[in-house]
Amino acid sequence: MSEWKNLDTLESFRELKSQTPVDLAEEMAGENGKKRVESYSVPMACGMTYNYAAKAVNDDILDNLKQLALEQDLPGKFKELYNGGVVNTGEKRLVLHHLTRSQLGDDVICDGVNKREFYKEQQQRIADFANKVHNGEIVNENGEKFTTVAQIGIGGSDLGPRAMYIALQNWAKKNGLMKMEAHFISNVDPDDASTVLSDIDVARTIFILVSKSGTTLETLTNMAFVEDALKKEGLDPSRHMIAVTSETSPLAKSDDFIEAFYMDDYIGGRYSSTSAVGGAVLSLAFGPDVFASFLDGAAQEDRTALETDPLKNPAMLDALIGVYERNVLGFPTTAILPYSQALSRFPAHLQQLDMESNGKSVNRFGEALSYKTGPVIFGEPGTNGQHSFYQLLHQGTNVIPLQFIAFKKSQLKNDVTIEGSTSQQKLLANVAAQIVAFACGKNDDNPNKSFEGRRPSSIIIADEVNPETLGALLSHYENKVMFQGFLWNVNSFDQEGVQLGKTLAKRVLAGDMDGALKAYSEALEI
C-alpha cells in the first residue's frame, strides 16, 4: 500500500521551490519558441495531444516534477484506487468510476458483488431499455412513441450529462444519430422546471429522475413539480418516469417508475457521467452505440494514465504543472478555454469536478494543511471569452494560468470563406494568436497598450468533437484532478462542504431558526 504524505514534507517539492523560475516570454520568443512547441508535447488517446510549450517550465523543472510524482508514488496510488482500495477515506469508500468504462486492474469484489460486472450489467440494461423506447416497444399510455427525454437531477446528476449531451447533439444530428431531444431540470427555482415543461410535449416525454440516495431535496421537489404537470395533462406519472438511483434507495423498487437503473456509493456524482447517470440520458438521446463509443474514448485515455513515466503521462503531467503553478508560482486560479461551441457547458462541469474534489483545507487524515490546494476554475468558449474576460487575463494584476482546448474540424462541416479564410480557420487562428500573446506579450511606449506577457498556458488539440474524443477529454480531466489530489494528500472523493448549507435550509423550512438565519428568512418572506 502507498504511503500518503503531505506535499510540503517531500524532498522533491523543497527542491522544486528552489528552482529558478522560467522567463516564459524569453523561452517562447523566436526559434526557441518553435522548438518548444515541437518538443513539449505528449500524445493522448484518440489522436489527441497535450501541448505544454507555453507553460513556465524547462527541462530542469520537468525533471524535478518527475521526481515529485515518483516520490509521492502517483502510479502506485492510482493502481490502489482502480484495484478497489478504500481511497475515499472521509466516507470509507472505494472509488470505482474507472470501472464504468475501463478494464484496468483486477476484478473488484465488494459487498459480495463483482463491481466490474455490476456496472456492465447496468449499461446493458440501459441499452436494452433505450432500444425498446426507440423501437416503440415501450410507449406512453396512449400507445405513442416517446420523442423527448428530460433528466431531473442536480450537481453531478446534471452538470456532466448536460455538458456531454450539448457537446454531441450537433454531431449526432449531422450523422443521423439523433434519437430523442434531451432537456434537463436541475435548479429548485420553479422557473427552471416551468420553462422546460413549457418547451416540450409532456405526453411524449420520458423523465429520468437521478438521485443516488433517493432523498435529494431539490431533485424530489422537481419530481413532484413534473408529476403535477403530468397529472394536469391527465397522464399517469408512473408511465413516464424512470429512476437512476442506488439499490438501497426508496426509489429502487418503487411502482412510481417504468424502470430503475442502479449506481452505488462508489461512484461520486461529479465522476458519474460514464455511469448510469450519463448512460440513461445519452443512450436515449443518441442510442446505446454512441454512448459505448463515448465510454471507449474514456477507457483509452484511462490507459494513458497508467504510464509510469510522469513526462509521458498526459493527465499526470498536466496535474504536476498545475501543482507547480499553484504551490510554487502562487497562482490561485485556472481558466479552461474550449475553442468549440459544442463545449459551451464543459467548463461548468469542470468547475464542479475540480473545486468539489480538491477544494479542501485538511488532508486525508483530517489534519490542517499549511499549503494551498485546488484553484478556482472558470471558463467560457472562445472566441466569446475574448470579448469578455480576456482583458483581465492579458493585463490584469493576477496571472491566471490557461488551458485551451481546440479541434481542427468543426462538427457540422458547414462553413464559408470570408476575406480569404473560413470561419474555422479564423477560430483556430485566434487560438494560436492568444497562446503567443499571453506568453510573449508586447512592449509599447503607451503603458495602456503594453502587455507584460508571461501568462502560461497549455492546449489540448484534437481532430473533432465526437463521442470518442469527448470521452477521452472527460477522462483526462478526471484523472488530472485525481493526481492533483494525490499530490496535495487530500481526499478528492468526498464533498462535506456542500452539506452545511443544506442542513440550515432544512431548518429554515422546518421553522427551527433564530439569529441571523431567522432574520434573513424573514427578509426573504419565507
Q: Show which residues are catalytic.
A: 356, 387, 502
Write the single-letter amino acid at 205: T
Burial of 434 (0-12, 13-18, 19+ CB in 10 A): buried
CA distance 23 to 25: 6
Grid cell listed for 134 = 426507440
H or E element in which residue 151 lies = strand 148-152
**How far are the Cα atoms of 220, 263, 339, 356 from residue 154, in angstroms, in the given order?**
10, 16, 26, 14
- Grid cell 423550512 — which residue? 509
> Would you list the DSSP string of 358-384?
H--SB-TTSPBPSS--PPEEEE--TTG
Q: Where are the beta strands (DSSP E) in 328-473?
A: 333-339, 376-379, 402-407, 417-418, 421-422, 457-462
Place of cell 418547451: 199
DSSP state of 442: B
- Cis link prior to 195 (omega < 30° from 0)? no
Grid cell, residue 362, equals 485538511
59: which residues sit within 8 A by CB, 6+ positions away? none
CA distance 290 to 170: 13
Taking a C-beta distance cutoff of 8 angstroms, is the pair 269, 155 a contact? Answer: yes
